[in-house]
Amino acid sequence: MKNCLVFDLDGTLVDTAPDLMTAHNYVMKKYGYEEKPLESIRHLAGRGAAAMLIRSIDAQGNLIKKNPIDPQTHKQMTDDFISFYRKNISGHSTIRKNVISLLDWCKEKDIICAVCTNKREDLAIKLLKEINLYKYFDYVAGADTFDYRKPDPRHLTDILDILDIDKKNSIMLGDSETDANTAKAARVHFILINDGYTEQKLEDIHHDHLIEDFEVVKQIASNYLTIK
Positions marked active-site: 8
Sequence letter at residue 26 = Y
- Beta bridge partner(s), residue 210: 192
Residue 203 is classified by DSSP as: G
Query: Pairing relation of β-strands 14-15 and 139-141?
Result: unpaired
DSSP string, 87-148: HTSSSS-EEPTTHHHHHHHHHHTTEEEEEE-SS-HHHHHHHHHHTT-GGG-SEEE-TTTSS-
Sequence letter at residue 220 = I
Q: Residue 121 in contact with residue 141, Cβ under 8 Å?
A: yes
Strand-by-strand arrangement of the 111-116 sheet: 139-141, 111-116, 3-7, 170-174, 189-193, 209-211
Give the C-alpha separation, 25 to 27, whole Å: 5
Q: Residue 38 in contact with residue 201, Cβ under 8 Å?
A: no
> For residue 91, how many other CB atoms are within 10 A of its CB?
10
